[in-house]
Chains A and B, each alone.
Chain A
Amino acid sequence: MRDVAIVASAQRQERAIPSESEVEFMVPLMQQVKDATGLTQRDIGFTCSGSSDFIAGQAFSFVMTIDGVGPVPAISESHVEMDGAWALYEAWVKLQIGEIDTALIYGYSKSSGGSLRDVLATQMDPYYVAPLWPDAFAIEALAARQMVENRRVSMDQLAEIASRSRRHGADNPHAVRTRQKSAADIMAEAPVASPLRPSDLPASADGGCVVLLAAEDTARSLSDRPAWIRGIDHRTDSHTLGVRDLTRSMSAELAAQKAGVANDKVDFAELHAPFTTSEFVLADALGLGEDTVINPSGGALAAHTMMASGLIRLAEAAARITAGDGDRAVAHAASGPVLQQNLVCVMEGE
């Protein structure tokens, strides 16, 4: 295995970015990462992105954003219709092969142009489920109901998660939900899709994230303290919700095992948990204990940019490692309804 690290990142998240197109708001982020490392597009071995046509409302929408990279002369490039974290995984594999030493990864979306709750219904089974237009919040609420009825988690615990995410988000300049609210106040909120309350739901945002991966000595030359990827794995559960135990996540558990989460202490974890219930399930699946700070950025409950939120978790964890806030971190990305797919990454400083 080659040592590969995150050496730089940039992000932008806002409630809505109405005046700029996706490529217009991504170019400055790409430039920020290139400036931080002194690299130009010619120096970068591979470029990989994650985005969704269904969110953009445009076919082959990712090709517009490639112009933002400056693909002249022609670049080695790939795209996933997934969160940018999966683009990072593809780049990591490519770096393992050993033909390149650097990769530029980005994920983005501008979901404010449509109804994300409706768009997410289209990821369900197209014959049996999607024609019923199940609301994304309602689907998660089915899992939440089971968790609460089975006494896996209490409404108070979920309110605590929501309150803590707002508290952490207050220190994050990219957070869009930063108004402080006590757990007691959240308990008093009227449910949106019972038992889920507004504070249990993702804080939807427009924006994106750009990450630079580098291998071995190249990474050391580009960063004083690279965030080394010590383990990374992704797993998926069945698309058929009925065959899964929605109160647990087998895929997250297995990905965490393969990535080696339990091999040492975890200083902090950035979990891509769109709902308070998802955070509860993930902390359990990853076996995170009391000594791990969960979502110091506030997580997706403070700012949730579809297709970038997972990559942002990796970027946030790496930035804290690089800053010396901790030595070992876990970053997680999710995709699909009720945590169907999960990617777990363990990062360490040197």
Chain B
Amino acid sequence: MGEFQHDPSVPPSAIKPVTMPAAVANVEQVQSVRTPIAIDYEVTPGEGLSRYLRGLKEKRILADVCPDTGQVVFPPRGVAPMAGKRPTRMVEVGHSGYIDSFNVTRIPIKTRPDLDPPYVSAWVVPDGANVGSIALVAGIEPEKVRVGMRVRAVWKPDDELEESATNILHWEPTGEPDVDIADLRRMGREGSTL
């Protein structure tokens, strides 16, 4: 084992410092190694996500319908997670919805320099959907955002629409009365065997 001690019963204070061979005693040690690795992929989104993205280009928001429970799942992923089945159909959901939960974020995100803190990350459920998604809420002071608040999608200009979830810039309050989020029927699971 030479100069090295690997016995775990030896306390760290009793371990002798590692000595380098004389030939390299005064050589500066390498502090870091750079081995950049990059691999290119062409990821295809699949059937469910493809239809969703094409819908967004036409300013339509599509969601999956669970074949077992009837729950409307947004955004669609080509699978109904509650049933473990491929959805048999998709439906269009509303451009308005409600805030199911939210937080006021006060630290910047390195990869989103466009977001100026504080900003509101919310869980938005579009009208007609039972399962919602993370979304940005703007057009209101963060302190005034409430659970149950009605919001509407703010889209990019029509001539800038593409197959992208970035078509919806953010969601803003509609001014309508709040939704009663204590009503769990919104989950669409009454009568479900799951």
Contacts and interface: CB of A to CB of B under 8 A. Distances in A.
In this complex, the interface size class of chain B, counting residues with CB under 8 Å from chain A, is 20 to 34
B48 A24 contact: yes
Nearest to A18: B44
Contact of A67 (B40, B44, B79): B79
A73 B192 CA distance: 12
B75 to A, nearest CB: 13
A114 B41 contact: yes
B82 A72 contact: yes
Contact of B86 (A24, A57, A72, A126): A24
A70 B83 contact: yes
A127 B39 CA distance: 17
B175 interface: no
A227 B41 CA distance: 39
A236 interface: no
Contact of B39 (A30, A118, A131): A118
B194 A115 contact: no
Contacts, number: 84
A122 interface: yes
A180 interface: no
A331 B84 CA distance: 30
A113 B194 contact: no
Given A113-B44, A114-B41, A114-B42, A21 B78 contact: yes
Contacts of B43: 57-58, 113
Nearest to B34: A131
Interface centre among B47, B49, B86 (most CB of A within 10 A): B86
B86 A28 contact: yes
Given A28-B86, A68-B79, A114 B40 contact: yes
Q: Which DSSP category, helix, strand, loop or mixed, fits chain B's interface?
A: loop
Contacts of B47: 19-21, 24
A130 B46 CA distance: 31
Interface in A70-97: 70-73
28 contacts: A19-B46, A19-B47, A19-B50, A20-B46, A20-B78, A21-B44, A21-B45, A21-B48, A22-B46, A23-B46, A24-B79, A27-B79, A27-B84, A27-B85, A27-B86, A57-B41, A67-B77, A67-B80, A70-B80, A73-B194, A113-B43, A114-B39, A114-B42, A122-B39, A127-B33, A130-B35, A130-B37, A131-B37
Interface of A: 18-24, 27-28, 30-31, 41, 54, 57-58, 64, 67-73, 113-115, 118-119, 122, 126-127, 130-131
Given A27-B85, A114-B42, 15 more contacts: A20-B46, A20-B47, A21-B48, A22-B46, A23-B79, A24-B79, A27-B84, A64-B77, A67-B81, A68-B84, A71-B84, A73-B194, A113-B41, A115-B40, A130-B35
